[in-house]
Structure formats: structure tokens, C-alpha cells
Structure 1
Amino acid sequence: MLSLRTKVVLSNMLSCLLAAMAGALVWLTLGDNSLWLAVLLMLAVCYFCSMWLTKRLSDSLQALEIGLLNFKDNDFSVSLHPYGEPQLDALVSLYNQASAKLRSERQFIYQRELMLDKVIQNSPNVMLLVDDSQRVIYANGAARHLFNHGVKVEGMLLPELIAILPEALKTALNSEQEGLFSMGSSSGDSIDENDVETWHISRGRFTQNNQQHHLILLKQLTKELNRQEVAVWKKVIRIISHELNNSVAPIASMVNSGRFLTQHLDNTKLQLIFDTIENRTSHLSQFISHYAQFAKLPLPQKQLIDWSKMTQQLAQQYPFQVLSSLPQMPIKLDAVQLEQVLINLLKNAHESGADADSVALIFEDITHPVAGLLIKVNDQGSGMSSEVLSQALLPFYSTKQSGTGIGLPLCREIIEAHGGRISLQSRPEGGLSVKVWLPAQQS
């Protein structure tokens, strides 16, 4: 097989030969006076023959040039066809392989960008990108919700966005510092205007296209801190329950053995001692079981609730008034766990010193901004001080002489396992209002 270079040389030689033959033929035919005509004919024949013989090479190089210009414009869709020339076809094959590789990599990068954008847009963390002039370049869904009620904020100035924000958030954004700060609840599912949320702000800076960009990240830490706090309490409870059970079981066994060994003595004082030990160990076992229930709460088994049946069952234990229509919104909850929550809340309402007739249960279907169900348990009892309200949902905290301090924390654990929230508020007319918010869409 001849090389492309050899073929080009032979083509030039053939063109020259054909030109010489044409010129000689004209010169011999027309005589000496036709020398200049013969020379011009030779040049023309040589030119056109060379052009014709090298046409394939010229076309292939031109196609390759166009393809490379497309690469420069980030267009990798063009493929070249083979020309039947091995060296040219090898070059075409390499070009087509490069084009296919670049198309594949660009598609891969595009898919990753889509996935990354999807993750960022659905992230609960607020992400905001601004340039040196404080103009917003990019904002995810959480940022639009926080700053502009879900409306697009790209192109707006950051000072205009933060002008109407809570003072604590405004201060954090205007400051160049990073770290934790607290502010009133800004979430759409807030059930208590007095809720305080803990946030963390962090900042980043990078250069792109010779322009300085500033990245602002805001993360809501309230739920995360609450989860960590509950996890610590659960670990403590499991350790204490384990150690107490290891002591209670042998004591109960020894009491039974003591009764058997001394049954013939007929000693009333001895029987009183055994009865006392048995009663106290039984009470301690029940005490431990209450805490174990909190520490080993199973995951909710969700299904549609029959509210009529549930309210009838609740009324048999603790009477109350239903001051609203029953929920109409279809919502899946764990009926057993929710019933336990409402029993605890109704029990607390009756033990608050309120008249039985004043205890009320209220349902509200919420559609905006987040669809869900709001349940209120109201009473007209003695209420709670601000100090008690701030600690009532903590494990072990109780104002009752015989209370375990586990009822409200168990309610909170159940509600948060459903993706909801619980809060306590003093009522202006006296008494307490416990609000439970449960989202309609749950994972």
C-alpha cells in the first residue's frame, strides 16, 4: 500500500507529465509561434490535474477543520465519514472516537449537574450565591422560601432581600462572622409563634470567570439538636434500666424464697417486711417499664385514622368536648401511638385542676403553606409558668409529686417520629393549650 505522501508526489508527477504532453502536442502542431500558448496550456493542465487528483485530500482536511471548529464551540455532534484512504481514514477514526468520547463525557457531566441541582434545590439548607455587587446569582428552593416566600430571587440585591427579615437573621447575614444564632420560628409548619430556632451560618468565597463570588449557607439545627438531646436521654435511660433490672429481679426472687423459708414462723412483722419489699420492687419495675417505653419506641405503623372511633374511645377514659368538626384531610398515622399521645394530653388536662367540661379537643385541617393537621388540647386549669413551659418536654422533668417526667417527652418523641411538632402555650383566658401539628405528606 502506498503512503499518502507517495500518492501526492506521484499525483504531482502525473500532472506535470500530462501538462508536458499537452504543451508538446500544441507546440508541434502549431509551430514555433505557439510556444507561449503551449506554456500556458501546460500550466493550466498541471493546475487542474493537481486539483482533481488532490480533491479527496482537500475535502478530508476541510471536514476535519470544520469538525475541530465545532469542538471549539462545544459541539461534539459531528462525525466524519471514511474516504477510502487508509491514512485519512485512520485520522477520521481518531476524530470520531474523540467526538464520541467528548459527547459521552458531556452527557455524564450534564446528568451529574442535573442530579446536583436536584439535590441542592431539595436540600433543607439555605444556599445563596452572590457576586461582589451583592446581586444574587443562584438560590435554591429553601433560600427562595426563606427570603421571598418561594418566589425567584436571582438578579435581586441581597440588601433588598434581607430588609424585611427578622432582626437576628438580618444581623447574621450582614455580619461577616460564622457560627450559631437563634431567632423566632420561620418555618411554614410553625405552631407556636414563641418557638425559638437555632441556625448555623457559614460562608465561602471563590473566583469564577475572573469574578469574585460569595457563598452563604444557612442550616437549621433545632431538630438536629433535639434529636441528639433525645438520643442522649435514651442512652442514659437504657443504661439505668439495665442496671435497675439486674438488681430488682434478684430482690424479687429472694423475697419469694424468704416467704417460702419463713412461712412456718407465722410472724406478722416479717410478713410486713416481705410485703413492703415486694410492693416497692413491683413499683420500681413499673417505673422502669415507663422509661423503657420511651427509650425503645418502635417506628410508627401508619394507616388512615378513623377519627370518630378514636374520639369515642378517648372519651371513655377522659371526657372532653370536641369544638370542631373531625378532620376531613386523609392522613396516615400510627393509631396506637397517636391515641397514647392524646390520652397523656387529656390526662394532664384533667389533672391541671380544670373542670372536666372545660377540657376541649379541636381539629384544624391546614392547607397552606404546608398541608397538615393541627390538633389542640385546651383546658382552663392552673396553667404553667414560663420556666415550666420551657422544660416540660424534657425527660425526667415533672412538677407532680409522683410524676415520672416521661409523659410529655414520650408525646414529643411520637409526634416527631411522624414528622410533626408539639408545643405548649399558656392561654390568655387561663389554662394551657397543647398544639400538635402533623404533616399530611410523610415519608
Structure 2
Amino acid sequence: MLRRLNTLETRLALLLFLAYVSGALIFIGVTQWPLPMILQWIRQDLGVTLETPAHMSVWTGLLVSAGIALLLSIFLADRVMSPLNRLLRALEGAVTSYRDGDFSFSIAATRTDELGKLIRMHNALGQTLREQRQHLAQRELLLDTVVQNTPVALVLTDASGRVTYANIAARHLFNEGRTLHGLDFNELIETSPEALRRAVKSGEDALLTVEMDGSEETFHLSQRSFRLQGRPHRLQLFRRMTRELSRQEVATWKRVIRVISHELNNSLAPISSLAHSGAELARRGDTARLPGVFATISERAKHLHGFIAGYASFAKLPAPQPVEIRWQPFLESLALHCRFILTGSLPEQNGWFDAGQIEQVLINLVKNAHESGSAEDGVSISLAVIGRDVRIEVADRGPGMSETVLAQALLPFYSTKRSGTGLGLALAREITEAHGGRITLANREDGGLRVSLLLPLKQA
């Protein structure tokens, strides 16, 4: 009940009631008592002549009462609005402080009404903003520390090409450790190697090798445009890849050596054993078994020759010779080498690629699809024109691939087959990229694997 009485609504109602009672009392005082009695006493007892009527009319009383009530209303309004005015000025100061980024402003008040509640909410808001700003400052400091100390050179430029932010690696890469802020980045890289300048001006991601300090350095350049505080900016990341590529190269060579050693041992060990057995049979004059020994040696030698030839073909892949390809004859020729179902209609626009190389890729992909355990009628090929490219898709209904296998399936020498060399998909990727296209692998939602070749079409 006390809380209900201590509200602005209740106070306003009491003030209005007080104003009503005060107006009535003033009117009675002016027209009935005590003002008429005082005037009569002045005339009769003091003998003072006053030019006022003995009793005021209703309208005169109302006019006099209104004047007195106006003065009283001004006084009461000042008393009522004084705390509101102080609060509004305080809130105005708080808003100004917040606009200037100062959240330390708070309002001291001990009121228990709605204004007090508003003040407490304002102070709580200020405290929240202060804490959030402190946390944001800490996160910005952490982010700046990480960015400044990362080995990736980071350069942020504005719309005019001037550097607005650069980390330590960028300063050492482009300006001998000195600051880059405010410098024109295009002028700054004029002294850089030609390959680096071309890559930056192309505006696209690139992997490039340049000569620096008497040695070759490989960089991966990543470029992105975005708007910061409503203004266009460009972010360029220069990542040194030399050590990483060297480690990958060493790891690849080790993997190659392991695969070749494994295959050589698998073939040479039985050849050596069979050669010894053949010599022993010949010494004993047991020539009946020699043809079988020689046939086995020939088979192992043929396998070894095919294995080495596969590696040689991957290492010496000729440059593609694209020509215009009509789809119907191409698919009919492909069907002579492998079994598949054509789904969908053929594109009206002819293809543009090296028929022999792409045919070999599709033969390998269809063969893999059949070896996955897919049903005969589950291996399909579909074609579709996507923008300026044609998509050739080989799909099956096998078990698909795990995420780990999908991530490494296109790498050379990676294979999940016990007798696989790991060159099939790697060769497909090499041929596709040599055509200016790309290859992707993905599991199908209803089971199976989908391998997509995206090849560029001939431009008119």
C-alpha cells in the first residue's frame, strides 16, 4: 500500500486535489470570508474609505481567485517539476557522455518512485556498458597482439590504396621494419619482384614464387574487399609457404619412396626366389617345371613395368590439346571402354577439351565407381552447362567416403586400396586442372559418391 502511494500518479492526483481545494478556499475567502469581513472592518472601524464594493460579485471573485491560484500554481509547478528538470538535465549529460564514448557517468539519487527506478536502471546500464567496453578493449588488445605477432604479413588499405593497418611481418617484408601507416601501397611494392606486383594488382588469390635476398621464397597471397565503418577497404595476406612446401615435398618424396620400395620388394623378392628355383631345376635337369617358373617371373616383371609406367605417365603428363567435342560421339566412344548409365539430356553447347585425356579420366572414375561395390545400374554419368563451364558428373551407389578420405583422396600416392598406387584420382585432378577446371568429390545424400569435373567451355 505504501508503495502504491509513493508513485508519481498518486502524487499528481493529490496535487490536483490540493489545487481544487485551494481554488475553492480562495474563492470562498475572496467572496465570503475573510476578505469581505476585513474590508468591512477597515471601513467601519478604521474609517478608511475604500472604493471597493462591500461584497464582490461572482465574476469578480472568480477573477481574483484565478489570479491568486495562478501564483500558487506557478509555485507548486516549480516544486513538482524541479526534480524532473534535474533528472532530465542529468540524462542529457549522460547521453552526451555516451555519445562521446564516456560510460563513467552515473546519477546519484535516493528516490523510491518511478524516477528513482529510472535512475537505478540508467546506472545499471552505464555499469553494463563500462564492463562491455572493458571486455571489448581486452579482446581488441588480444586480437592486436595475435595479429601483430603472426608470421603472416597483413596489410589493410583504404579506397585510395593507402595503408591503414599493417602488422610486424608486413613492415619487415615491405619496409625494412619501419611503419607502413599512411603510405601508398601500390608505390610501396614498386620495388618488389615483378611476380609479386602482378599478383597484387590482379586482385585475386595466388601462389607465387619470388627471389628475395638471394633465395627463392614462395608466398600464398589472399585478397579480400569489404566495408569497414561504411568505407571500402582491402585486406591482403602474404603467407610464406617455402618451409611448409619443403616439408610437404619431403613428406611426398618419403611417401613415393615407401610406395616404390613396397612395390619393388613385392615384385623383386619373388623374381629373385623364382630365378634361384629355376637355376636349381635346370641344374638337376628338371625342365618340365621351368616354363611355369619363367611365366611367373614374366608376370611379376610385367606388373612391375606397368607400375613404373603409371608413375612415369603421371610425371610426364603432356599439355592438353583442347578441341571442340560433340557429346554423342564422345560418349559412344567412352561406352566401348566402361559401363555406365547416362542420366539427363546432353547439353546443346559442345565441349572444349582434350578428348583422350578426359576420356582416360572418366574411364578411371567409372572403374572406381564399379569397384566401390555399387550395383551395375547405380553407376551413372550426367552432363550440365553451369555458366561458362560444363559439369561432367560420375555418380555411384557405393558406401561413399569418410570425411578423412574425402580430404586426402585427391593427393598423389594416397590410396585406401591394398594394391592401389594412389595415382588414379591424383591424375584426374592433374588433367582437370591442366584444362583450367577443377574436380570435386562429395557423398550423395541417399548413399554413394559423386565426382564432378568442371571444365571451361570455348568462349565465342
* TM tier relative to shorter chain: 0.3 to 0.5
TM-score by length of 2: 0.46
Greater Rg by CA: 2
TM-score by length of 1: 0.47
Q: Which structure is higher in RCO with an 8 Å CA cutoff and minimum separation 6?
A: 1
